[in-house]
Amino acid sequence: MARINLLPWRAERRKQRQQDFIKMVGVSVIAAIALAFLIISYHNGQIDGQKERNAYLEQQITEVDAAITEIEKLDEQKARLLARKEVIEELQANRSQMVHLFDSLVRTIPDGVVLTAIKQDSQTLTLDGRAQSNARVSTYLRNLEGSGWMSNPDLSIIEAAGDDKALPYQFTLSVKLANPNAPVDADGDGIPDDPQPVEAAADPLAEPNAAPVDGTAAPAPAAEAETQATPEDTDTGAAS
């Protein structure tokens, strides 16, 4: 005898398929939510890590800025100290310059020449005087050039003026003050390139013919320099 299934099996199978579909959709939704949560968590972690790195960099930048400010202050202090050191060295080197200057003026002036006025303007010294002849002035210029404490003598005026027959010529010349003991600073960095010690025996009251400590020859006295005048000097003086 044949059996006939009169139950609604198609409806039950359709219902089963719908339930399976709903389950699959639910599982997919849950998986998608979990995946989105993981992705969001990962990106949030990356953002937090980058924020920490940025905060660390900002902290390091702040420390570097503070260090740069400190270095700039140290550079300014170094510049001030170097400027002060340069001034002290200049004063140390020039402390006996005027003594040597007047001593050189006495030593270099020859017979037949007298000075009437001396004027100093910074590093330039202007000398006014009277001379017996042009040759005497030339001898005086050579003596000034070799004195060591004066350089670049420049004769600006020489003329026969006045009623003084013994010293008829009036002259005006200028010289640059020099200091052979001054430290040399060619590069201008405030540090002497070849520092030279200041003379230990710079005594203006020493004997005129005493040899210097460094072994160089002592400058010739004025009278001795005058005895070396050429015959033309004597002739010119007599003619005047």
Which tens digit of pLDDT belongs to each residue from 141-173?
888 888 888 888 888 888 887 677 778 888 898
The Cα-based distances of 74 to 23, 79, 192 in angstroms read: 76, 9, 21
Q: Please, how many CA atoms are within 13 Å of residue 65, restricted to the half-sphere of its CB?
A: 6
- Whole-angstrom distance, CA of residue 104 vs CA of residue 114: 14
Q: Give the tens place of pLDDT for each residue, 20-45.
A: 999 999 999 999 999 999 999 999 99
* 147: number of Cβ within 10 Å: 21
- Whole-angstrom distance, CA of residue 168 vs CA of residue 154: 20
Q: What is the dotted CATH code of the domain comprising 98-181+219-239?
A: 3.30.1360.100
Q: Give the tens place of pLDDT for each residue, 181-228.
A: 655 555 555 555 554 444 433 444 344 443 343 434 444 443 343 434
